[in-house]
Amino acid sequence: MKDSLYSLLDEHYNEMVKIRRYLHQHPEVSFKEYETAAYIEKFYQKLTIPYRSNVGGNGIVATIKGAKPGKTVALRADFDALPIQDEKDVAYRSKTPGVMHACAHDGHTAMLLIIAKVLHSKQAELSGNVVLIHQHAEELAPGGAKSMISDGALDGVDVVYGNHLWTNTPFGEIHTASEHLMAAADRFTITLHGKGGHGAIPHQTKDPIVIGAQLITALQQIVSRRVNPLDTAVITVGRFEAGNTFNVIPHSATIEGTVRTFDSNLRDWIVEEMERVIKGTTFAGDMEYKFEYFNGYPPVINHPEYAERVIQAAQQVPDVKKAIFVQPTMTGEDFSYYLQERPGAFFFTGAAIENNFVPHHHPLFDFDERAMLIGAKTLINLTLQTLTSE
């Protein structure tokens, strides 16, 4: 059955690309993916595959019930885009100003739809059930996974798998980890309240820019000088905003950033340490502050047995050159919530375009579309192996 499904995926590859490119041209940001959801619904309607819409928001859950009894495997794909202007010079460039698929979610959706199509054609031979989870709002916390789970997306599911087309990984390679694969992804905002004034008379002010600059440097020292080097943590400031003209010291400044960790105790300690550093720095500068910390997605922690199955399944895909366990990445994913509820694993499918690397979340982001076929075959084989072994 595996080989026949591989052949069907090959036959539908052009349709997979067509779907991906259509979605790429018509992106929608998190929590506003109404037309994308409608597109997915129409696909299932045409195939007469039963589905539920508006699951936990804009999510969609379809189910293929095999003719033979067995366990239930869930496959998840996200479908939201990012508020980024698409600057690629390609025929499938985004038609929506300021919005683009810069993280391959269009590819994930195309893969899952074609996987559904080929599995549906073999429904009479299938043992067990396959649940297809099309998730909204992965890019923006609180994300769509948690609400979809609360709305029953995992009801009756025994094992769950997810895949991410990954341009940091060479084409033809499958990467995963036996446990920690991705980090907890938190966000913070620090607002400094000083006293503005003339840029030529700074002694009459309480300059939030100077204190903010000191604070940014001090925050970096939490990781470099306070965290055990054998532990893993990141504090990144991504926004520092203050003032609107060259010769005026503003009243306030805003600093925003992210914290990434794997260990929950370290995560809590960093928040306490940040508060201590902020308090001390602002006290020295004689100004007030407001510190807001928002817990994001927890770390993606694979279940070892099912991560091993990913490697075994990938090794049986003809175009896979290498399937290996790798060190975790500090990026985040709300697939973590599924793995808190059910056993399973998440993996990266290498999608780098040779000699044209562009990172995720970049205006020129694109990926090697052939990777969709490799990822789809890996998910298909993983599903069949899991259903059989269970």
Angle between helices 13-25 and 2-11 (to 10 degrees): 50
Query: Is 361 a known ligand-binding residue?
Result: yes
Token representation of residue 236: 């990144």
d(C-alpha 215, C-alpha 191), whole Å = 11
Pair type for strands 300-301 and 180-182 = antiparallel
How many Cβ atoms sit within 10 Å of the Cβ of residue 18?
13
Find the catalytic residue in 28, 78, 106, 138.
138
Query: Is 362 a known ligand-binding residue?
Result: no
Query: Is 251 a known ligand-binding residue?
Result: no
Chain centroid to CA 144: 11
106 in active site: no
DSSP letter for 262, please.
S
Query: Which of 111, 55, 192, 170 is closest to 376 using CA atoms?
Result: 111
Query: Which of 261, 340, 256, 272 is closest to 296 using CA atoms?
Result: 261
φ/ψ bin of 200: left (φ > 0), alpha (ψ from -120 to 50), beta (otherwise): alpha
d(C-alpha 157, C-alpha 381), whole Å = 18
d(C-alpha 5, C-alpha 9), whole Å = 6
Query: Is 175 a known ligand-binding residue?
Result: no
What's the N-to-C CA distance of the chain in angstroms?
Answer: 17
d(C-alpha 205, C-alpha 189), whole Å = 23
80 in active site: yes
Find the catalytic residue in 78, 80, 186, 369.
80
Query: Is 360 a known ligand-binding residue?
Result: no
Annotation: binding site for Mn(2+): 103, 105, 139, 164, 361
Annotation: binding site: 103, 105, 139, 164, 361
Q: Any idea which residues carry the catalytic annotation? A: 80, 138
